[in-house]
Amino acid sequence: MSFDGDEEILQDFLVEAGEILELLSEQLVDLEQNPDDSNLLNAIFRGFHTVKGGAGFLRLDALVNCCHSAENVFDTLRNHKRKVTSELMDVVLETLDNVNAMFEEVRQREVPTPAPQELIERLDQLALPEGEATIHSAAPASADQGDITDDEFEQLLDALNGDETASAAASETSAASPVASGDGDINDDEFEALLDQLHGKGQFAGAPVAPAAAKETAAETSSAQPTDISDDEFEALLDQLHGKGGSPKAVVAAASAAPAPAKKPEPAKVPAVAKAPAEPAQAKAPARDAAHAASETSVRVDTKRLDDIMNMVGELVLVRNRLQRLGDQSEDEQMHKAVANLAVVTTDLQAAVMQTRMQPIKKVFGRFPRVVRDLARSLKKEINLVMHGEDTDLDKNLVEALSDPLVHLVRNSVDHGIESPAERERAGKPRVGTITLSAEQEGDHILLLITDDGAGMNADVLRRKAVEKGMYDQDGADRLTDQECYNLIFAAGFSTKDQISDVSGRGVGMDVVKTKISQLNGQLSVVSKLGEGSSIVIKVPLTLAIMPTLMIMLADQSFALPLVNVVEIFHLNLSKTNVVDGRECVVVRDKVFPLFHIKRWLIRGGAGNVEPENGHVVIVSMGTRQVGFVVDQLVGQEEVVIKPLGRGLLGTPGMAGATITGDGRIALIIDVPSLLQHYS
């Protein structure tokens, strides 16, 4: 689709309409819970109306027609001529799906596909007052499409002002305008003349053309109403012209049939809406300047440019690390001060650039009211979704990456967690189950919780399923702790459902969730209590671009352990270890940790080296599991920039990427879950 001259308008429409449509999904689900909320009804009506208006500017007729029909339904609802029902909401939500699909086509610069005619007819039926039969019109089918043609607009003007007045205005405008309007468009001068005809000269005039005219206009404005027109006033003006919520074409037909008035209406009587108190012209000028200045406080920036800036900040972090290492080796005090100042500025710059990439997790959470509502209806369950911490910010890349895993987890809570209303009543619970979705910042990480008050998990059932699927023998399954049993739900192919449905039962989904969270350097764990419910806890870093790590040495090679995985570090006499089930372990404060010499895995010939008597042990965690890594040397904590591995090393087990250390070496970044899964 071509938007040659309207690219700027299109971009504004995509931003504004995109935000409105995201909000509408949440508002519509709220409305079903609070059908008598007049503020919510008005907000939804305005949402569809605003999207329709923007689409009209861009001549997106399919989008205009669909939004217009939805708008009519909500005009009927807010005037209390019909009640909100689940069946009505099914139709409206289907309409929103079609609007979203058309909006996505417009985003891709494609012609939007019209909504099914059957859906439009159902909306038109719902727009009628309750109990009222459909009135079939003898007019052509296209007469209620919501658009108004140039000819019809001319008829409307003739009906309002009289044929002679409109003709005189057209002649006057043509003579005054240097640009011919034969192509159907209207230029600025012609539009001004048209407004003068409708509302009186000077009511909505633009910039004056002569000093004398300026004085006259200022005098009029100071004693009449303000020059600018607000959004509410514009809405009311449309209502004056087209009727509230009605189709413009219906008004055209009525206006054409009405006798033409003998003279032009008085200017003061036309818009009965803009009754703002009069202000001195001098007082309004600074206000307009302030509004103009405020409108320029934000700019639209391509996300690729932000990514480029973030990459450059990452390179600056590497240079800072290098200079800090060199500064530590120098005894020059001025050098130390300069490096310290550079470190402060770099840290502040890094935080500022990261802030520009931050988005509220509301972008993800906004999808879930609709997901829960639709799935609960299909499963015949009653579920209330509660959300907390929607304004928590995190990196835009993480917002996008978390979307699918969270959908899996929420659907799992609806399907597996919450019982049917009858089962809940038998267990002495309320019929309506509750799923709580919350987010909060914890240091340089985000903590996400998906909690339900359902049946909880039965560790014995999970053990039995693990044996049936051949994951453990009976003896090994009996030794699993309850917490380890809960984590079995993230194993590939594991499902407790006996019947396969379109929602669950295939054992696909939860293992994908765990893999995705691991790729984000995050952690995933489950807490459950039989009969009371379950919680799934996700911990992910604020950003993926720069990662705090613990630098270690294996032989003469540097490696970086993500700090999120590190629990504690201690020195150990390696001759005093224990062997449990054939695996070397270490006991610390009455807790047993499996011990792994990762140098044997990662360094060629590492297994053949003479083992030292003493070593450093780093306890790392993956969810609820903790193990010990034996390392040769601890270098210290360092922020690193993650660089992707080259084509030859891509997919190397246990490696998340590479970085350049402060001493100029190349260090591999260890992916702890992948390392253990592959080698242990």
Q: Model confidence over 513-525: pLDDT tens digits?
A: 888 887 787 888 8
DSSP letter, residue 503: S
Give the C-alpha separation, 432 to 420, whole Å.
9
C-beta separation of 529 from 456 below 8 A = yes
Report the chain's mean pLDDT, rounded to a whole number.
76
Q: What is the CATH number of the domain that holds 329?
A: 1.10.287.560
Query: Does 459 share its domain with 592?
Result: no
**Predicted pLDDT of residue 164:** 47
The answer, yes or no, to whether residue 576 has pLDDT greater than 60, is yes
99: confidence class by pLDDT, cuts 50, 70, 90: very high
Q: What is the CATH number of the domain that holds 524?
A: 3.30.565.10
Query: Does 321 share its domain with 393?
Result: no
Across 389-407, average pLDDT: 86
User: Which of the residue ranges 134-148, 571-585, 642-656 would you say has the lowest mean pLDDT?
Assistant: 134-148
Query: Does 505 share its domain with 583?
Result: no
Taking alpha carbons only, the member of 649, 654, 552, 555 closest to residue 607 is 555
Across 356-383, average pLDDT: 88
Residue 140 lies in a domain: no
Query: Does 156 share its domain with 79?
Result: no
Taking alpha carbons only, the member of 55, 31, 58 closest to residue 45 is 31
Query: What residues contact residue 656 under an 8 Å CB cut-off, 6+ apart?
Result: 521, 562, 642, 669, 670, 671, 674
**Predicted pLDDT of residue 153:** 64
**Predicted pLDDT of residue 577:** 80
The answer, yes or no, to whether residue 437 has pLDDT greater than 90, is yes
Query: Does 415 share its domain with 532?
Result: yes
Residue 71 lies in a domain: yes
270: confidence class by pLDDT, cuts 50, 70, 90: very low
Q: Which domain holds residue 109?
A: 4-133
Residue 410 vs residues 86, 240, 346, 417, 677: alpha-carbon distances, Å: 22, 47, 39, 10, 27
Residue 225 vs residues 195, 217, 288, 593: alpha-carbon distances, Å: 15, 12, 15, 78
C-beta separation of 509 from 408 below 8 A = yes
The two beta strands, 583-588 and 591-596, are: antiparallel
Strand partners, 534: 452, 528
Q: pTM for the complete prediction?
A: 0.62
Residue 292 lies in a domain: no
Strand partners, 428: none
Question: Structurally, how many domains does the chain consist of?
Answer: 5
User: Which of the residue ranges 230-234, 306-310, 353-357, 455-459 would you say has the lowest mean pLDDT?
Assistant: 230-234
182: confidence class by pLDDT, cuts 50, 70, 90: very low
Taking alpha carbons only, the member of 357, 278, 378, 260 closest to residue 313 is 357
- Tokens 């202000």 locate to 279
Query: Does 528 share its domain with 395?
Result: yes
Query: Does 351 share its domain with 432?
Result: no
C-beta separation of 668 from 658 below 8 A = yes
Q: Look at residues 357, 383, 402 and tell me which one is the last residue of a structural domain.
A: 357
How many helices and strands in the chain, by DSSP H and E?
24, 18
A 10 A CB-CB count for 452 gives: 25
Query: Does 414 share its domain with 445?
Result: yes
219: confidence class by pLDDT, cuts 50, 70, 90: very low
Q: Alpha-carbon Rg of the chain, whole angstroms? A: 34
Residue 337 lies in a domain: yes
Give the C-alpha separation, 37 to 42, whole Å.
9
Query: Does 115 share its domain with 179?
Result: no
Percent of the chain as helix, strand, coil, to the nearest 5 = 50, 20, 30
Q: What percent of the chain has pLDDT over 90?
A: 15
**SS3 at position 555:** coil
The answer, yes or no, to whether residue 293 has pLDDT greater than 60, is no
**Predicted pLDDT of residue 639:** 83
**Predicted pLDDT of residue 255:** 42
SS (H, E, C) 533-553: EEEEEEEEECCCCEEEEEEEE
pLDDT, one tens digit per residue, over 189-216 is 776 666 666 655 544 444 444 444 444 4
Residue 145 lies in a domain: no
Q: At what angle do helices 396-412 and 368-379 cross, to 10 degrees?
A: 20
Q: What is the CATH number of the domain that holds 601?
A: 2.30.30.40
Across 477-504, average pLDDT: 73
CA atoms within 13 A of residue 311's CA, in its CB half-sphere: 8
166: confidence class by pLDDT, cuts 50, 70, 90: very low
The answer, yes or no, to whether residue 264 has pLDDT greater than 60, is no
Query: Does 450 share its domain with 497?
Result: yes
**Predicted pLDDT of residue 154:** 66
186: confidence class by pLDDT, cuts 50, 70, 90: low
A 10 A CB-CB count for 622 gives: 19
Query: Does 489 share its domain with 401?
Result: yes
Query: Does 85 share its domain with 166?
Result: no
The answer, yes or no, to whether residue 55 has pLDDT greater than 80, is yes
**Predicted pLDDT of residue 470:** 83
- Tokens 């985000």 locate to 446
Query: What residues contact residue 477 under an 8 Å CB cut-off, 6+ apart?
Result: 463, 464, 466, 467
56: confidence class by pLDDT, cuts 50, 70, 90: confident
Query: What residues contact residue 463 under an 8 Å CB cut-off, 6+ apart?
Result: 472, 477, 478, 480, 485
**Predicted pLDDT of residue 263:** 44
**Predicted pLDDT of residue 15:** 83
The answer, yes or no, to whether residue 187 has pLDDT greater than 60, is yes
Q: What is the CATH number of the domain that holds 65?
A: 1.20.120.160
Residue 291 lies in a domain: no
**Predicted pLDDT of residue 424:** 92
Q: Look at residues 324, 357, 390 and tell me which one is the last residue of a structural domain.
A: 357
SS (H, E, C) 124-184: HHHCCCCCCCCCCCCCCHHHHCCCCCHHHHHHHHHHHHCHHHHHHHHHHHHHHCCCCCCCC
Across 388-407, average pLDDT: 86
The kind and range of the H/E element at 515 are: helix 510-519
Q: Look at residues 98, 133, 168 and tell me which one is the last residue of a structural domain.
A: 133
Give the C-alpha separation, 194 to 186, whole Å.
10
**Predicted pLDDT of residue 230:** 63
Residue 298 lies in a domain: no
Across 276-284, average pLDDT: 44
Buried residues in 346-375 as b, exposed as e (16+ CB within 10 A): beeebeebbeebeebbbbbbbbbbbbbbeb
The answer, yes or no, to whether residue 397 has pLDDT greater than 90, is no
Residue 288 lies in a domain: no
